[in-house]
C-alpha cells in the first residue's frame, strides 16, 4: 500500500484565495516547461552562427541539436518515478539547478565538444522538469474541468515554447552573441526558485516498493543506442558497426519490456497501454513532435540560408505559428467537448498534415505568405493535439501514478522531437548530397555557402545549386511528415471509434 503526502488540501471546497494560489502556482509550473521546450528550438536560428564560430562537423552539428532530446527521452520515465517517491517539487528544483548550471556552461562553450557535453547536462536536468511539473497539476487541480484548463495552459507553454524559441532566439541573436540563447534561462529559473516553494505544494508517494534500477539501466541501454543507430544510418548509410549498435539497442529494449512485464514494481506500467485512449495519445505525441521538431529546424535554415533573412526577420516569421499553437492549446478542451475526442484528435492531425503539405509550395524565391499560412495551419493542429494528449494521459491514471504516466507521455514528446531532428534532418542531408552532381558541396548547406564565397561567378552558381538542393531535401521531409501524419489519422480513427467522447 502507498500513502500520498502533500502540503495542502486541494479539494473542490477550497476558498477563493486558495484557488487563486493554485492558478498562480500553475503559472510558476509553466516556467520550466517553457524553458525545456524552448531549448529544443532556440538553436534552430543559432546554428549558422555556431557553425561559423565553433566550426562543428556535420555529425557534431546534429549532436548539438540531438543529445539534449535523447537524454531527456531516455530519463523521463525514470525521473517521473523518482519524483513520485522523493517529492515532485523537490526533484523539480533539483533539476532546475542542474539545468541552470549547464546553461551557463553552454553559453561560454569554447568548442563543439564542450557545447555537446553541456547540452547533455541540460538534458539530464530537463528530464526532471517535465514530468514533475505536469504531474503536480494532477494533485493541484483534482476537479476535471479545472485540470483540463490547467493542462491546456501547460501544453500551450510546452508547444508554444517550441514554436516561440526561434523568435526569442532571433531577437537575442540580433543584439548579442549565440551564447545568449542559453543565458536567458538563468533569470527565469531564479523566478522559479523564489516562487515555487511558496506557490507549489509538495507531493510524494510514501511507498515501500523497490525502485526498478534494472529497468532504468535497460531503458537507457535501449533508447540511446537505438536512436543513435537510426540517426547515423539515415545520415551516413549502412555500416557494420552502426547496425550492430542498433541491434544491441533493440535487444535491450526487448529485454526492458520483458523485465517490466515480470517485475513486481515496474518502472513502466505496461498495463496503461491497454487503454486505447492512453496508447493513442502517446503515439500522437511521438509522431506529432517528430513532424513539428523536424520541420521547425529545417524551415529555420530555409529562411536564413536559402531566403537570406536575418535572424530577427526569420524569428518574426515564426510568430503566427507560435500564436496558433498557444491559443489552440488552451482552447483544446472546448474543441473536444464540442466535437468529441476522436474528431478533435483526428481533425487536429489532418490540419497538421495539410500545413506540412503546403510547405511543398516553398521554393528559393516563393512569397513569404506561403510559409506563414502553412505553418499557422499546422500550428492550430499541433496546439489541439498536444493539449489533448496531456489531458488524456493525466486523467487516465490515479493521481499517485500521474508522475510515471507523465514520464511516458513526455518521453514520447521529447523522443519525437529528437527523432524528428535526426531523421528529417538526415533525410534532407541525404537528398542534399544526392543533388550535388559532382559539384563541390560540403556536408551542409552552410558549409557549401561558406566555400562558395570568393569563387566569383562559379561561387554564385554553386550557392544557387546548393540552395535548390536543400529545398528539395526539405520537400522530401515535408512529404515524409504528410505520410506519417496521414497514417496516424487513420490509426486513431479506428482505435478511438468506440470512444468518440
3-6 vs 203-206, strand pairing mode: antiparallel
Cβ atoms of 64 and 56 within 8 Å: the answer is yes
Secondary structure of residue 141 in the 3-state scheme: coil
Neighbouring CB atoms inside 10 A of 192's CB total 25
Cell matching residue 367: 512569397
In which element (H, E) is residue 77 found?
Answer: helix 58-86
Dihedral angle of Cα 366, 370, 375, 376, to the nearest 10 degrees = 150
Neighbouring CB atoms inside 10 A of 194's CB total 11
| DSSP E strand stretches across 406-460 | none
Q: How far apart are CA 14 and CA 146, in angstroms?
A: 13
Burial 142-170 (b: 16+ CB within 10 A, else e): eeeebbbbbbbbbbbbbbbbbbbbbbbbb
Cell matching residue 329: 492549446
Contacts of 189 (CB under 8 A, 6+ apart): 31, 32, 35, 96, 97, 99, 100
Does CATH place domain 7-211+265-495 in 1.20.1250.20? yes
Secondary structure of residue 405 in the 3-state scheme: helix
Write the Ramachandran bin of 158: left for phi over 0, alpha for psi from -120 to 50, otherwise beta: alpha
Q: How far apart are CA 84 and CA 72, in angstroms?
A: 18
- Supply the pTM of this predicted model: 0.73
Q: How far apart are CA 295 and CA 325, in angstroms?
A: 15
Q: How far apart are CA 333 and CA 320, in angstroms?
A: 21
Cβ atoms of 54 and 113 within 8 Å: the answer is no
Q: Distances from the Cα of 329 to the Cαs of 137, 255, 375, 384, 387, in angstroms? A: 16, 37, 15, 5, 5
Nearest CA to 362 out of 371, 350, 373, 372 is that of 371
Domain limits, the chain: 7-211+265-495, 212-264
Cell matching residue 139: 494533485
In which element (H, E) is residue 289 found?
Answer: helix 276-301
pLDDT tens-place values along the chain, 501 residues long: 334 444 433 344 444 544 777 888 888 888 887 877 777 667 766 777 888 888 887 778 778 877 887 787 778 777 777 777 777 788 888 888 999 999 999 999 999 889 999 999 998 888 888 777 777 887 788 777 787 778 778 777 776 676 667 677 777 777 888 888 888 888 888 888 888 888 887 777 666 667 788 888 888 888 778 877 776 775 566 788 888 998 998 999 999 989 988 887 787 778 778 777 788 888 888 898 889 888 888 888 888 888 888 777 877 887 888 888 888 888 887 888 888 888 888 999 999 999 999 999 999 889 999 999 999 999 899 888 888 887 777 766 666 666 666 667 777 776 777 678 778 887 888 888 787 666 676 667 777 777 777 676 777 788 888 888 889 989 999 999 999 999 999 988 887 775 444
Amino acid at each position: 500500500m502507498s500513502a500520498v503526502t502533500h502540503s495542502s488540501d486541494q479539494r473542490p471546497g477550497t476558498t477563493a484565495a486558495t484557488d487563486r494560489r493554485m492558478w498562480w502556482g500553475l503559472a510558476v509550473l509553466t516556467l520550466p516547461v517553457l524553458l525545456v521546450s524552448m531549448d529544443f528550438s532556440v538553436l534552430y536560428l543559432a546554428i549558422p552562427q555556431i557553425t561559423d564560430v565553433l566550426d562543428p562537423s556535420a555529425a557534431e552539428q546534429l549532436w548539438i541539436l540531438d543529445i539534449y532530446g535523447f537524454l531527456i527521452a531516455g530519463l523521463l520515465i525514470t525521473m517521473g518515478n523518482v519524483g513520485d517517491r522523493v517529492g515532485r517539487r523537490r526533484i523539480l528544483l533539483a533539476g532546475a539547478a542542474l539545468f541552470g548550471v549547464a546553461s551557463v556552461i553552454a553559453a561560454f562553450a569554447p568548442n563543439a565538444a564542450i557545447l555537446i557535453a553541456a547540452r547533455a547536462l541540460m538534458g539530464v536536468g530537463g528530464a526532471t522538469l517535465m514530468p514533475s511539473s505536469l504531474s503536480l497539476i494532477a494533485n493541484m487541480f483534482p476537479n476535471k474541468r479545472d485540470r483540463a484548463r490547467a493542462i491546456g495552459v501547460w501544453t500551450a507553454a510546452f508547444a508554444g515554447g517550441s514554436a516561440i524559441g526561434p523568435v526569442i532566439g532571433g531577437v537575442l541573436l540580433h543584439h548579442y552573441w549565440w551564447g545568449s540563447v542559453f543565458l536567458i534561462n538563468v533569470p527565469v529559473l531564479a523566478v522559479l526558485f523564489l516562487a515555487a516553494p511558496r506557490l507549489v505544494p509538495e507531493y510524494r508517494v510514501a511507498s515501500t516498493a523497490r525502485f526498478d534500477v534494472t529497468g532504468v539501466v535497460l531503458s537507457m541501454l535501449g533508447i540511446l543506442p537505438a536512436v543513435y543507430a537510426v540517426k547515423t544510418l539515415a545520415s551516413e548509410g549502412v555500416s557494420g558497426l552502426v547496425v550492430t549498435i542498433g541491434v544491441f539497442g533493440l535487444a535491450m529494449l526487448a529485454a526492458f519490456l520483458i523485465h517490466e512485464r515480470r517485475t513486481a514494481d515496474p518502472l513502466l506500467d505496461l498495463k496503461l497501454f491497454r487503454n486505447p485512449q492512453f496508447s493513442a495519445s502517446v503515439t500522437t505525441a511521438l509522431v506529432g513532435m517528430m513532424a513539428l521538431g523536424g520541420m521547425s529546424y529545417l524551415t529555420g535554415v530555409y529562411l536564413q540560408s536559402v531566403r537570406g533573412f536575418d535572424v530577427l526577420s526569420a524569428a518574426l516569421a515564426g510568430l503566427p505559428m507560435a500564436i496558433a499553437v498557444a491559443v489552440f492549446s488552451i482552447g483544446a478542451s472546448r474543441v473536444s467537448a464540442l466535437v468529441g475526442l476522436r474528431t478533435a484528435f483526428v481533425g487536429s492531425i489532418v490540419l497538421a498534415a495539410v500545413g506540412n503539405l503546403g510547405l511543398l509550395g516553398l521554393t528559393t524565391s516563393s512569397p513569404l505568405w506561403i510559409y506563414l499560412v502553412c505553418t499557422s495551419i499546422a500550428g492550430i493542429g499541433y496546439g489541439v493535439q498536444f493539449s489533448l494528449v496531456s489531458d488524456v494521459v493525466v486523467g487516465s491514471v490515479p493521481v499517485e501514478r500521474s508522475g510515471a504516466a507523465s514520464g511516458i507521455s513526455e518521453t514520447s514528446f521529447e523522443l519525437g522531437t529528437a527523432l524528428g531532428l535526426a531523421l528529417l534532418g538526415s533525410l534532407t542531408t541525404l537528398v542534399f548530397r544526392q543533388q550535388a552532381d559532382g559539384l563541390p558541396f560540403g556536408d551542409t548547406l552552410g558549409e557549401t555557402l561558406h566555400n562558395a564565397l570568393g569563387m566569383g561567378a562559379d561561387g554564385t552558381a554553386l550557392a544557387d545549386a546548393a540552395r535548390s538542393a536543400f529545398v528539395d531535401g526539405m520537400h522530401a521531409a515535408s512529404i515524409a511528415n504528410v505520410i506519417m501524419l496521414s497514417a496516424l489519422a487513420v490509426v486513431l480513427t479506428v482505435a478511438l471509434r468506440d470512444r468518440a467522447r
